[in-house]
A and B are shown apart, each in its own frame.
Chain A
Amino acid sequence: MNQEITVLVFRFDPDQDKEPRFDEYRLRAEEEVSVLVLLNRIQQEIDHTLSFRSYCCGLQMCGSCLMKINQKKRFACITLVRPGERVAIEPASYPEGHIKDLVVKMEDQK
């Protein structure tokens, strides 16, 4: 099953870019892989400029990796992508609270 996964990632650095764009990355994968692991691989192996919250609690409870995956809000840590599939990743919110790429400010729930 060694095939490519195509990942479209929302990119925007307000300090450097005029407007948001999507960058496309292709990664080889032998089996299902989580979106969070895909992002880590992109950041480490292909594009160091990508920013996201790289933390994982492992219990889908902390909310750190909440983002829009194929237009729905999901936890990137447990959302699996199969080889051959294509996935689009956007920040959980934009422009409200957006910092850079997939990173948004944590909301204050007082």
Chain B
Amino acid sequence: MNLTVKECDILVIGGGGSGALASLEASEHRELRIILASKAPIGQSGLTPTANGGTKAIGAPDELFKDMITGGSFLNDQDIVWFMVNEIQNALEKLKRFGIPVAPLRGKSVCVPSAEALKRLRAHILQRPNIELLEDVLITRIFRSDGDEWTTTALDLATGEFFIIKATAMVIATGGLTGELYSHSSNNPFGVTTDASGTGHVMAYLAGAELIDMEMIQFVPLPANPRCLHLRYFPDFWVGPYQNRFGETIESNVSSYPGESYSYLFVQKFYRELEKGNGPIYIDQRNLGQPEQAPVIQSWEQRIKLIKSLGIDPRENRIELLLGSHFGMGGIRVNPNTETTLPGLYAAGEVMGGVHGGMRLSGYSLTQMIVFGFEAGKQSAHYALRKRKFDGLPHESIEEERERIFRFLKAKSRPVSVIELKNRLQKVMGDLVFVLRDEKGLTDALKEIGAIKSQVSNIGVPTSKRFNLEWIRAIEFSLMVEAAEIITTSALARKESRGFHYRRDFPNEDNQKWLRHTVAKLEKDCLKIDLAPVVLERLNPAGVP
């Protein structure tokens, strides 16, 4: 088998903000050759372009720190958070040097127009002679070679060519994982996917990295009609009032909750109301005056016009709500320098764990993206500069992966489609691994996930290799189902309730036993969950010495 092998010092995977910033930062070292691989053009994949722009950055670092740690129910990695809140001002200064406007928004937030920012970053990337930008390239697996060098298998989506990228260091910046696992998700504006499929989490795990606190998934109220998802960008809308189907107010104003409408306490209350049969829940603002506008956000006028043209102005319509997935707090285990537990492997952005603990507060994910995007670029460059080179490729692993990928194209006697399996997966996740969980449900979920996993090899796709959307979805699904298994197994292991992880059978937060991270890793080809204590160096919960 003759395969094209591309070589570089640093491979950055992911075309969102973290990946773009990591590659630009690393490329400051002109002697390093960097490849940035993204499954779509930069700015046209992942969650960065969907962000509202709010970035928490203003105020004393220790205040931001305290907000995050108490918001996260003390499950955050305090070193990572401390680093982030102290570094954000620096990082924003660097961002401005790329010509990206950073304007004060309100409270502790500034506005970083994320879609616009990615367009500008892409232009900078194209100008850097030492960055090779590979767009429409899907990384399918990563392998750690004996000498701590990294090899990846890749698919050029435009042609269907399978090839290899060899790198001394690698940055995983593949974003979130919750959008595809639940049928309703903020990650899917207008009901269309952002492909935040968790492939980076799983590829790192399969290569031997550890994933922490994967059970922690943020669920939030969302408009039931996908077309209304645009309302997510109107923070004032989410204040309330929330009413049940009898017109009774279940919450008049969510501002009193830490995290507001993104609060796990409010979301659990919402869910219980649905369980009691009092749903659907609505926000009814037809009697309120016109909202105050936030002219700082670019294109605000356009947004107002859009909700009117889509017929979803909340001042004219009662908006029906559902709960859906929003953000994964868990992720690849790293230290503040974005180093994973494997030498030469770095992770930045939503794919990294430890930042938000049990609950992400709004505005902190762009802070995470900016700070750790730059940091991963810096650290991976230092690694690549001091590392000896090794030759050799893991030929057997590459061949196995090639066979696995191309097997989807072969004719099957009883083929199943991706959507069939994805619907099954979303059903089990929505039924049993959602807002309120228990041992029986999670155990049943694992059985069903196992059954779905065993069907993956029966997925059949059309045979043309050129931009074969169904093939891409099959490859991603094969990793997504692993992510579901890891999340569910981690949720089964955490026998307490904390942040967004609520166990009916263990309804209390247990600071004596459970100030610990769940640590998912692959051992002898099996998923194993270990526990690791949370380091409480700077701030302790009440009653914990």
Contact = CB atoms under 8 A, between A and B. Distances in A.
Interface of A: 13-16, 32, 34, 36-37, 40, 43-45, 48-64, 77-78, 80, 99-101, 103, 105-106, 108-110
Contacts of B302: 60
B466 A59 contact: no
B126 A110 contact: yes
A100 B243 CA distance: 47
A54 B466 contact: no
B226 interface: yes
A61 B115 contact: yes
A62 B44 contact: yes
Given A34-B190, A56-B192, A105-B158, A62 B466 contact: no
Contact of B306 (A40, A60, A103): A60
A78 B126 CA distance: 30
27 contacts: A13-B466, A32-B227, A37-B192, A51-B468, A55-B194, A56-B190, A56-B194, A57-B115, A58-B50, A58-B230, A58-B233, A59-B49, A59-B189, A61-B49, A62-B44, A63-B43, A64-B41, A77-B190, A78-B306, A80-B310, A100-B467, A103-B467, A105-B158, A106-B44, A110-B123, A110-B126, A110-B127
Contacts of A105: 136, 158
B195 interface: yes
Given A15-B464, A49-B470, A108 B126 contact: yes
Contacts of B290: none
A36 to B, nearest CB: 5
Nearest to B226: A37
B116 interface: yes
B260 interface: no
Nearest to A77: B190
B307 to A, nearest CB: 11
B426 interface: no
From A49, A53, A56, A100, residue with most partner B Cβ within 10 Å:
A56
Interface of B: 40-41, 43-45, 49-50, 115-116, 123, 126-127, 135-136, 158, 188-195, 226-227, 229-230, 232-233, 299, 302-303, 306, 309-310, 417-419, 461-462, 464-470
A109 B419 CA distance: 36
Main secondary structure on A side of the interface with B: loop
Contact of B464 (A13, A36, A52): A13
A28 B343 CA distance: 54
Contact of B44 (A34, A53, A60): A53
Contact of A54 (B189, B226, B461, B469): B469
A55 B470 contact: no
Closest 8 CB pairs of A and B: A58-B189, A56-B192, A106-B41, A64-B44, A57-B49, A61-B115, A48-B470, A44-B419
